[in-house]
Amino acid sequence: MFNRLKIAMYTLLSGVNVALVGQLKLNEIMVLLSAPFVFDTRDFKAYPLFRKIIVALVALFVFQAITDLFVVKSSSENFMRGWAAIIMSILSFLFLFKTLKDDEAIFFFLCMTLIKNIIWTDENADTDMSYFKFKMVPILSYGVYILSFLLYRNGQWKAVLALLLCYSLLCFARDSRSTGMVFFLGAIIIYCFNSGMYLTRDRLLVFGLAGAILFQFAYVSYVNGVMNHEIGGEHASEQIDRLDNPYNPLELLMTGRGETFAALAAIGDAPLFGHGSWAKDDNLKYYRILLLYQNEEMNEQLATSTDHLIPSHSILLGAWVNAGVGGFVAVLLVFILLLRMGFYLIRHAADTALYPVLVLMTIGVIWTFLFSPIQQLRFNIPAIGAILLRAYYEFAEEENEVGDTEHINGSIAFISPEGKI
Query: Hey, what amino acid is at 267?
Result: I
Angstrom distances, CA of residue 415 to CA of 115, 193, 354:
33, 7, 15
Strand 17-18 to 24-25 pairing = antiparallel
- Quote the radius of gyration of the chain (alpha carbons, Å): 22
> How far apart, in Å, are the Cα atoms of 163 and each of 143, 148, 250?
11, 8, 28
pLDDT of residue 409: 42
Label residue 55 by pLDDT band (50, 70, 90). very high
Contact 190, 356 (CB under 8 A): yes
pLDDT in tens, 161-181: 999 999 999 998 888 889 999
Average pLDDT of the residues in 12-16: 90
Q: What is the largest CA-CA distance in the chain?
A: 73
> Is 60 exceeded by the pLDDT of residue 399?
yes
Alpha-carbon torsion angle 53, 105, 115, 176, nearest 10: 50
Is 80 exceeded by the pLDDT of residue 362?
yes
- Mean of the per-residue pLDDT values of the chain: 87
Using CA atoms in the order 190, 159, 7, 123, what is the torsion angle rounded to 10 degrees? Answer: 100
pLDDT at 133: 86
Residue 413's pLDDT is what?
37
First to last CA, the chain: 18
Q: Average the pLDDT over 379-384 and give the result.
A: 96
User: Could you give the CA distance from residue 4 to residue 105 in angstroms, rounded to a whole number?
Assistant: 7
Q: Residue 419 above 50 pLDDT?
A: no
- HSE-CB at 53 with a 13 A cutoff on CA atoms is 28
Backbone angles phi, psi at 24, to 5 degrees: -110, 155
Task: Give the whole-angstrom CA distance, residue 69 versus residue 49.
Answer: 30
Residue 283: predicted pLDDT: 86
176-189 pLDDT per residue, tens: 889 999 999 999 99
Instruction: Give the model's confidence band at 412: pLDDT under 50 very low, under 70 low, under 90 confident, else very high.
Output: very low
Q: pLDDT per residue over 331-352, tens digit each?
A: 999 999 999 999 999 999 999 9
pLDDT of residue 249: 86
Q: What is the pLDDT of residue 411?
A: 37
Q: What is the pLDDT of residue 229?
A: 81
Residue range 317-344: mean pLDDT, rounded: 97
Instruction: Read off the pLDDT band of 257 (50, 70, 90).
Output: confident
pLDDT at 398: 67
Give the per-residue pLDDT at 401. 57
Q: Which residue has the higher pLDDT, 257 or 141?
A: 141
CA separation for the pair 221, 28 (Å, rounded): 44
**Using one digit for the tens of pLDDT, what is the confidence trace for 100-128?**
999 999 999 999 999 999 998 765 556 66
- pLDDT band, very low/low/confident/very high, at 421 (cuts 50, 70, 90): very low
74-93: pLDDT as tens digits: 899 889 999 999 999 999 99
